[in-house]
Amino acid sequence: MADKDGDKRPSNFIRNIVIRDLESGKHDTVITRFPPEPNGFLHIGHAKSIVLNFGLAAEFGGRCHLRFDDTNPTKEEQEYVDAIMEDVRWMGYDWGEHLYYASDYFDQFYDYAEQLIKMGKAFVCDLSQEEIRRYRGTLTEPGKESPYRNRSIEENLDLFRRMRAGEFKDGERVLRAKIDMASGNLNMRDPVIYRIMHVPHHRTGDKWCIYPMYDFAHCLSDAIEGITHSICTLEFEDHRPLYDWFLDELKTPCHPQQIEFARLNLTYTVLSKRKLIRLVEEGHVDGWDDPRMPTISGMRRRGYPPAAIRDFCERIGVAKKESVVDVALLEHCVRDELNRTAPRRMAVLNPLKVVIENYPEDLVEEMDAVNNPEDPSYGTRKVPFCREIFIERTDFMEDPPKKFYRMAPGREVRLRYAYIVTCTGFSKDPETGEITEVRCKYDPETRGGNTPDGRRVRGTIHWVSARHAFKAEVRQYDRLFREPYPGMGGADFMESLNPDSLEILEGCLLEPSLKYAEPGSMWQFERLGYFCVDTRYSKPQAPVFNRTVQLRDTWAKIEKKLAQQQGGGKKGGSKKNKKKKGR
Ligand code: ATP
Ligand code: MG
């Protein structure tokens, strides 16, 4: 029952537990669940949990339920339910008919609560929230018993039924489990299991004015659904004794095993719904699916393929110890996937005009360009070439250093898929000093980029035909936060926001075939990076592109080295330079 043949998937301690339980016959199948609370959009941390839960179920022929943990009506909305379902599906997973809502079990939870009362294991408490907190004690001091703890079963039942019937105001009474106020585990000190909230619920409407607490609802939901392995994050480790207590006391038909793992933390990223909500509500981003957001919908809009996110989640593994993963690893997985799958195109983001003086005025040649060097099945396409082209402004230097292998006066450079040209001159705006035009001559013998005499031309640059290219908007994203650990040391995470995380380039010039690129489609712009057609701002024949991720830039490395050699080798300095370069 262990690994499938040839499966190179790295194991982890949870997978090992599952394998052991199947081998020992404790279970004959594996049933997991992904239990989001519909109070926000899913983020990359949830993706880790999704990949783990759905992945285990798929690997061992079991199933994974999608269960909305909708026990708190004040923060939950249908919009979130819909978005979560879309995101899980997009990630490539299918819960089949196993879509559940904790709110579907409200009647059963209520019956279980009455059962606890009848067993003398739960009581109605009239202390205020504040008093309950004070009575609970601390890690070093035991708690104090509530004066209402020894109410009779009859009185408790009567009060609980009246709580349900709506006789009391919010906060006036709660139902608590009667466990142990001296327990070393604070969660076991008579935890609240029901509270009064006169708030309608997005699914049950006005039917209930008492709602169960997470610790009570979650274990029971797992048991009702016959979950075998209830996988959650480490902060629930101290809740496990309570999870087990409810299921043991109530003798539920099955007793799932709760297993905790370390949540995902990422550098330069915040992954708490509370913080993400603030970014959205205070308008720092353009909604939950802003391409800079670490949400699944944001990453989708940004152009991250689901396969790359799954790959990332597999690579980071599953551990018991908290750690922070470098966001560069996620970007690496995205590049890896897109390198294999994204067709190549040429696009010039900051155009500089080049006139090829010895090229005939009216001639247009169709150059053969390879669509994906990683996969010949992508074929080739024709790219029009003529006397005037545009190149990237950063691909020309008036007075270049030695290792600059691009266009510069007197130097030869290869135009991708076209000819080798030699720069013969340039014009400058006398006032601003900006280069306005570059002149070249081409060598007609070098079509396709080869030199008949075998001379070596090191640099190859991309270009678009001035007559055929079309103008488009390209949105370049940088990290949303400037610091690797936003909000560290008690600072407000908002203070680390990067004010330059979005740069909109209006006058980009793109190869004509991109005009018909479908919203959501992903491309490599040669030498620049991966780009995806934005699903919100694009119009027919007027695509807007989002930069998904940059390609690695060897020039940036050389530049960094140079800067260091020149004594300016401060850390971070090179990063600034790199950012400027694209402009
Ligand atoms: P947040 O901290 O963002 O508010 P949450 O835990 O409140 O997250 P839920 O909707 O309750 O969000 O989470 C659903 C599932 O996803 C839970 O099992 C939770 O443990 C898991 N999960 C949430 N955040 C992460 C994370 N960063 N890494 C791994 N799993 C996570
Ligand atoms: Mg939660």
Structure tokens at 347: 């696009």
Report whether pLDDT(511) > 90. Answer: yes
Q: What atom in ligand 1 is closest to the CA of residue 265?
A: 27
Which ligand is closest in space to the CA of residue 231?
1
pLDDT digits (tens, 9 = 90+) for 207-251: 999 999 999 999 999 999 999 999 999 999 999 999 999 999 999
pLDDT digits (tens, 9 = 90+) for 120-154: 999 999 999 999 999 999 999 999 999 999 999 99
| pLDDT value, residue 552 | 78
Q: Among 48, 195, 273, 335, which one carries the catalytic annotation?
A: 273
Mutation choice for ligand 1 from 77, 233, 234, 309, CB with most ligand atoms inside 8 A: 233
310/10: higher pLDDT: 310
CA-closest residue to ligand 1 atom 18 = 232
Q: What are phi and psi of 175, to 5 degrees?
A: -100, 130
Q: What average pLDDT does this structure show over 513-523?
A: 97
Q: What atom in ligand 1 is closest to the CA of residue 42?
A: 10
Counting runs of H as helices and runs of E as strands, what totals does the chain give?
14, 25
Residues whose beta carbon lies within 6 Å of some atom of ligand 1: 35-37, 45-46, 48-49, 69, 232-233, 263-264, 271-273
Residues β-bridged to residue 352? 391
3-state secondary structure of 347: strand
Cβ neighbours around 267 below 10 Å, total: 17
Q: Among 75, 121, 263, 275, which one carries the catalytic annotation?
A: 263
Distance 64 CA to ligand 1 centre (A): 16
Q: Is 263 a catalytic residue?
A: yes
| pLDDT value, residue 219 | 98
3-state secondary structure of 267: coil
Measured CA to CA, the distance from residue 546 to residue 476 in angstroms comes to 6
Q: What are phi and psi of 5, to 5 degrees?
A: -60, 135
Measured CA to CA, the distance from residue 506 to residue 542 in angstroms comes to 12
**Distances in whole angstroms, Cα of residue 30 to Cα of each of 3, 22, 63:** 15, 8, 7
Calculate what percentage of the chain has a pLDDT beyond 90: 90
Burial of 243 (0-12, 13-18, 19+ CB in 10 A): buried
Report whether pLDDT(571) > 60. Answer: no
Measured CA to CA, the distance from residue 494 to residue 68 in angstroms comes to 30
Q: What average pLDDT does this structure show over 473-492?
A: 94
Measured CA to CA, the distance from residue 367 to residue 189 in angstroms comes to 76
| pLDDT value, residue 574 | 38
Confidence of residue 5 (pLDDT cuts 50, 70, 90): very low
Confidence of residue 568 (pLDDT cuts 50, 70, 90): low
Residues β-bridged to residue 205? 201
| pLDDT value, residue 292 | 98
Q: Which run of H or of E encompasses 241? A: helix 240-250
Report whether pLDDT(581) > 70. Answer: no
Helix intervals (H) in 119-212: 129-135, 153-165
Calculate what percentage of the chain has a pLDDT beyond 70: 94
Q: What atom in ligand 1 is closest to the CA of residue 50?
A: 16
Q: What average pLDDT does this structure show over 264-274?
A: 95
Mutation choice for ligand 1 from 34, 42, 46, CB with most ligand atoms inside 8 A: 46
Q: What atom in ligand 1 is closest to the CA of residue 53?
A: 18
Residue partners of 226: CB distance under 8 A and separation at least 6:
31, 253, 254, 256
Measured CA to CA, the distance from residue 175 to residue 177 in angstroms comes to 7
Query: What one-character-per-residue DSSP string does 246-265 give?
Result: HHHHHT-S--PEEEEEPPP-
Distance 278 CA to ligand 2 centre (A): 17
Lowest mean pLDDT among 107-111, 305-309, 398-402: 398-402
Report whether pLDDT(579) > 60. Answer: no
Q: What's the predicted TM-score (pTM) here?
A: 0.91
Structure tokens at 326: 């470098």
Distance 87 CA to ligand 2 centre (A): 17
pLDDT digits (tens, 9 = 90+) for 280-311: 999 999 999 999 999 999 999 999 999 999 99
Q: Which run of H or of E encompasses 489? A: none
Distance 46 CA to ligand 1 centre (A): 5
Report whether pLDDT(580) > 50. Answer: no
Distance 79 CA to ligand 1 centre (A): 18
Which ligand is closest in space to the CA of residue 39?
1
Report whether pLDDT(273) > 90. Answer: yes
Say which amino acid occupies 377.
S
Distance 203 CA to ligand 1 centre (A): 22
| pLDDT value, residue 533 | 98
Measured CA to CA, the distance from residue 526 to residue 187 in angstroms comes to 56
Q: Which residues of 24-54 are buried (b: 16+ CB within 10 A; e: fewer)?
A: eeebeebbbbbbbbbbbbbbbbbbbbbbbbb
Mutation choice for ligand 1 from 69, 80, 93, 263, CB with most ligand atoms inside 8 A: 263
Report whether pLDDT(573) > 90. Answer: no
CA-closest residue to ligand 1 atom 22 = 46
Quick one: which of 230, 234, 235 has its CA closest to 246? 230
Structure tokens at 2: 């262990």
Q: What atom in ligand 1 is closest to the CA of residue 274?
A: 4
